Amino acid sequence: MTPGELAALVCSHLKAHDIDVVLTGGACVTLYGGGSFVSYDLDFIERVAAGRRKLKTVLAKIGFSERDRYFRHPESEFFLEFPAGPLAVGNEPPAALRVLTFPTGELLALSPTDCVKDRLAAFFHWNDLECFEQALQVAKASEVDLTDIERWAIKEGQGEKFGQFKERCAR
């Protein structure tokens, strides 16, 4: 299974058990970045916390077991992580979520614009250059709202670093 297919399977399975999650992080870069980056860590944020015990029980029904803080399946190289919420990009909620359909189900994920914000937040606050490059990949491969990203970056107090991003996007 591709990362998107697996994420859709997990998202649909959890939703069928009243656990509402959104895919975030590097896995969104895999979806929107044009294929040059593959994340093996599928990060899901619960929109309303269901509790770890319920997650473990529901994911076990499709063969996942918890090891450390990750959920792994014996037939997959990908693993699941459920970072604590709330769902946010920097200091604000995502502007939009995207529903993506795969043969394995429906996946709720950050939009490409919010994926760029998510990656830039790591660059802004921790100088994570890999996340900066991932934001560039998504911005070049997918349709994103640079005006909204700039508004958000300024609100985050990162207008100067956004300038670096905008300059690289223009190349």
Domains of the chain: total: 2
Last residue of a domain, one of 95, 111, 127: 111
* Residue 44 pLDDT greater than 90, yes or no: yes
98: which DSSP letter? Answer: E
For position 35, what pLDDT does the model report?
84
Using DSSP bridges, classify how beta strands 41-46 and 65-67 pair: parallel, antiparallel or unpaired. Answer: unpaired
Asked whether residue 78 falls in the same domain as residue 154, the answer is no
- What pTM does this model have? 0.95
Confidence of residue 167 (pLDDT cuts 50, 70, 90): very high
CA geometry: angle at 14 spanning 97 and 53, to 5°?
120
Asked whether residue 85 falls in the same domain as residue 42, the answer is yes
pLDDT tens for residues 100-133? 999 999 999 999 999 999 999 999 999 999 999 9
For position 36, what pLDDT does the model report?
84
* Residue 62 pLDDT greater than 90, yes or no: yes
Question: Which of helix, strand or coil describes residue 148?
Answer: helix
Asked whether residue 98 falls in the same domain as residue 122, the answer is no
Over residues 77-87, the mean pLDDT reads 95
DSSP of 135-147, one letter per residue?
Answer: HHHHHHHS---HH
Asked whether residue 18 falls in the same domain as residue 72, the answer is yes
What backbone phi and psi angles, to 5 degrees, belong to 66? -90, 130
CA-to-CA distance for 28 and 46, rounded, in angstroms? 16
Any idea which residue has 């896995």 for tokens?
27
| CATH code of the domain covering residue 37 | 3.30.460.40
Provide the domain limits for residue 147. 113-170
